[in-house]
Amino acid sequence: MKTPKILKSILLGLAILLALVIYAYGFQVTKVNLEETREPRRQMQLTRILRALVRPDIFTYEKEEFTVSLPIYTPCSAEAEALPEPIADSPYMVMSPTCADPSTEVTVEGFNFEPNTTGPLNFIPPSGVSLQMGTITTDNDGHFVATVKLPKRPDTVAQEIRAITRRNVGGPMFSKNAKDTWEKIIETVFLALLATTFGVAIAIPISFVAARNIMTPITSPFTSIAISILLIPVGIVAGGFVAGKLHTLADLMTGSIWGALAGVIGTPVLMWFIFRWAVPPIEDEPPTRFERIARPIAIFFTSLLGILFLYLVSSLAIQFGKALIVPLGGLGFLGKFIASLGDILMTLIPVVTALAGAGVLGGFAGRVGQWVVEHSSHSANRITNLVLGGLAGAALFAIIGAGINWLYQIDNAWTTFGIPAIVGAIGGVILAGFLSRTATLPIGFFIYSLTRTLLNGMRSIESLVMVIIFAVWVGIGPFAGVLALALHTIASNAKLYSEQVEGIMAGPLEAITATGANRLQTIIYAVIPQIVPPYISYTMYRWDINVRMSTIIGFAGGGGIGFLLQQNINLLNYRAASTQMLAIAIVVASMDYLSSKLREKAI
Amino acid sequence: MLKIQNLTKVYMPANVRALEDVTFDVPKGQFLAVIGLSGSGKSTLLRCINRLVEPTSGKIFLDGQDVTVANAEELRRVRRKIGMVFQHFNLVHRSSVLTNVLAGRLGYTNPAWSLINRFPKADIEKARYQLERVGIGDKTHQRADALSGGQQQRVGIARALMQDPEIILADEPVASLDPVLAHSIMQYLEKINAEDGVTVICSLHFLDLVHRYAHRAIALNAGRVVFDGLPKEIDDERFKEIYGQEAERVG
């Protein structure tokens, strides 16, 4: 059907009208005010700030102060003593008339001053408290004329008019503001560097989980998923428990230096031998039954040794680093750095161990489930599925309930544990009954979607907002900024990276799969070589962005140069603020150039 | 050694019937050509054999073992016995030629060792030998994308040979190469077939290549086997059955 011409015109007219209304409202809410921009007072303020901004406070000079005094009488008095005559060669002032009533205007003239200086012209009553009457500016000959009003301070004795001028001596020096700016801009660059490093280190593994082409092929039968849900929390707890025990053991060993050394040297050697036996480089024959059982046990013990080794290393690093701080003197931060690395490692071990526990038990659950599907009868599998489905559903929802309770502090066992568990159990049973026994669920796609959703949510919160939470946690300062920027880096780079994984050529992936490589090998040999250049490029780009962000993250308590900038703006110290703006501009521009150069190299 | 019974593949959700009840046997050491129009199911057939594509129904037996029901670990052992050569070579461009060839051993290598990118010395020796064998021993340390098309396909063949394959599946291995290179690549496959006794299943577009190299030819049309016999038996009438009434012979 054709719209009649007249109707079209009317619609167009209405659309234009609507647009006008929208913009009119926009003007209203954003308070567009042209009157204000034309007002002389405002224009003067603008001029002042612009003039301050183009004169950044960077250099300063040693100053020499000259004081010239002129005794006067106010009001004039007959019995006044004769005032001393000025010496013609040195600086002197003359007031005309030579005496006057208070609150009258007089002219003060100065001779033989330092040329081209400025300074205050003060009135000093007998009390000694100086009152500023005006400022003076000398010309090329060191001469000035100022018309000032005498203050309302009549007295019978001689009072004093004092001019103070300052002169720069010596060459220019960096001002305190310039030094502060330098210190803070260095802090800013390193803040960005650390945030990028931490963020990227976590974003890379996440990016694989957030890549559709890696995750979608992962499917699993219902039985496997149900057992996994039940076993993964057990794995996390068990992993944490094992880590705790090993930590205690490591502490015992590091009690004596010999125990520590023996541990640090002994565990890797032992690990190497067990590894050589348990993980043969070539898998020619299918493993025997004994090997099938013994090898995983051996690998388990190797992992325990590995965790112990890491604990020993981290604890030694902390001790060693702390011991180094004093003897290293100026380089003491190196010792502190080693200790911090040890601390980071020590913090990460239980997390990694818990995750590993979850991974091991999850993988084991997958195999058990697969075995059940393959080896049990139809009806037996149906019944196990119903039971497992109920249990897994209950467990999953109970965990979610516990999370909600932690956040909202409902503290009612029935609403936060009972009801979710029952709902979950019913849901699980229904799902188990609904699905066919051998059907595989797209668990990979589910994890992919969940990760993507979380990343998108996290990305929508600006780091400037995130820093507020971190500033509460770790205190206002650059570390809060590092954490906030790192979190934002994880969110955005994980997504950018995963898009690169999704964009790789499928051919090599197919070819490597065809050789019999498992998923891990396929990723190492077909995916990683393809994504290295874009990963480097995006990392550089993120560093660039983080430098930019870190210049303002201080506005919200994140340390760096933004903190200084905000302070100076609030103090209306625009010349100092100008220095910081200049520093930001230089750093951002050079970072921009550097990162584009490096990115060119990476590809 | 390879038995394919009633193999059917339906691509969902578009419901495309790529293979329809395909049945044939391949004896050990045969050079089998698979011909047919583009989209007739040649690639799907080859990919079903090593389960890069999951068959919808039917059975595939390799040395008596049913490939279609193999679990992950069994499939790994099946796949490593089946080398594959691709039309677009499918090399990892940024990796060296040597690494690309060594990737052929991944089905034998313990994944834990792959994690640190280690291959046994014997495998590295073997990779050098296979590269010598296909005549590019001097390119070992170059990046794969620095090689010409013909050289890349030879790397592809060396990679397949690293698997000590019983079968090589070649999916239009010469379709992206000029006629001279095509013959050179086909001669390598012929040589491997003759010297190592490796069964070769090769999809081809040009009938002169089929006549020259294949012991036997199978023709697919719309997923069905429409011809199974000696290459020389493909006369004009058969040709039209395979490629349709409008088709004309070239070359």
- At A293 the three-state DSSP class reads helix
A230, pLDDT greater than 90: yes
Query: Hey, where are the domains in chain A?
Result: 5-52, 62-174, 180-200+450-603
User: How does DSSP classify residue A286?
Assistant: P
Question: What ipTM was assigned to the predicted interfaces of this complex?
Answer: 0.94
Q: How confident is the model at residue A80 (pLDDT cuts 50, 70, 90)?
A: low
Mean pLDDT confidence for A289-295: 85
CA-atom Rg of chain B in angstroms: 18
In single-letter form, the type of residue at position A503 comes to G
Q: Where are the alpha helices (DSSP H) in A210-288?
A: 212-215, 222-253, 257-278
Q: Which residue of B has its CA nearest to A509?
A: B90
CB contact B92 to A (< 8 Å): yes
- Token pair of A420 as six digits: 């979710």
A79, pLDDT greater than 70: no
Instruction: Tell me whether residues A507 and B90 touch, CB distance under 8 A.
Output: yes
- Token pair of A77 as six digits: 């008095």
Nearest to B84 among A281, A514, A526 (CB): A514
CA dist A267 and A311 (Å) reads 11
CA dist A278 and A225 (Å) reads 28
CB contact A205 to B (< 8 Å): no
- Token pair of A39 as six digits: 């007002």
In this structure, are strands A59-72 and A159-174 parallel, antiparallel, or unpaired?
antiparallel
Q: Which residue of B has its CA nearest to A520?
A: B111
A115, pLDDT greater than 70: yes
Peptide bond into B13 cis (omega under 30): yes
pLDDT digits (tens, 9 = 90+) for B13-34: 888 999 999 999 999 999 999 9
A71, pLDDT greater than 80: yes
A–B interface: beta-carbon pairs under 8 A: 108
Q: Which helix (H) or strand (E) holds B224?
A: strand B224-229
Q: Which helix (H) or strand (E) holds A32?
A: none
pLDDT given for residue A291 in this prediction: 83
CB contact B124 to A (< 8 Å): no
Q: Which of B108, B107, B148, B105 is nearest to B124 (CA)?
A: B105
CB contact A256 to B (< 8 Å): no
CA-atom Rg of chain A in angstroms: 38
pLDDT digits (tens, 9 = 90+) for B208-218: 899 999 999 99
Alpha carbon of B83: minimum distance to chain A alpha carbons (Å)? 7
Q: Which residues of A touch B130 (CB under 8 A)?
A: none
pLDDT digits (tens, 9 = 90+) for A349-364: 999 999 999 999 998 9
Q: Which of B118, B50, B198 is nearest to A524 (CA)?
A: B118
Q: Could you tell me which CATH class the domain A180-200+450-603 is placed in?
A: mainly alpha
A572 torsion bin: left (phi>0), alpha (psi -120 to 50), beta (else)? left
A82, HSE (Cβ side, Cα atoms, 13 Å): 3
Mean pLDDT confidence for A568-573: 91
Q: Which residue of A has its CA nearest to B49?
A: A514
Task: Collect all residues with Cβ–Cβ distance below 8 Å to A123 and sequence separation of at least 6.
Answer: A130, A131, A132, A133, A150, A151, A153, A159, A160, A161, A162
pLDDT digits (tens, 9 = 90+) for B91-118: 999 899 999 999 999 999 988 888 888 8
Alpha carbon of A499: minimum distance to chain B alpha carbons (Å)? 19
CATH tag, A62-174:
2.60.40
